[in-house]
Amino acid sequence: MNEIHRVLADGGQLLSMTPSTGGRGAFQDPTHCSFWNQNSFWYYMREEQARFVPGIKARFTGDVWENYPSDWHRQHQILYVYANLVKVKAK
Q: Where are the domains of the chain?
A: 2-87
Tens digit of pLDDT for each residue in 10-31? 999 999 999 999 999 899 889 9
**Whole-number Å distance between alpha carbons of 49 and 67:** 24
pLDDT at 41: 97
Kind and range of the H or E run holding 69: none
Tell which wins on pLDDT, 32 or 91: 32
Assess whether pLDDT exceeds 90 at residue 74. Answer: yes
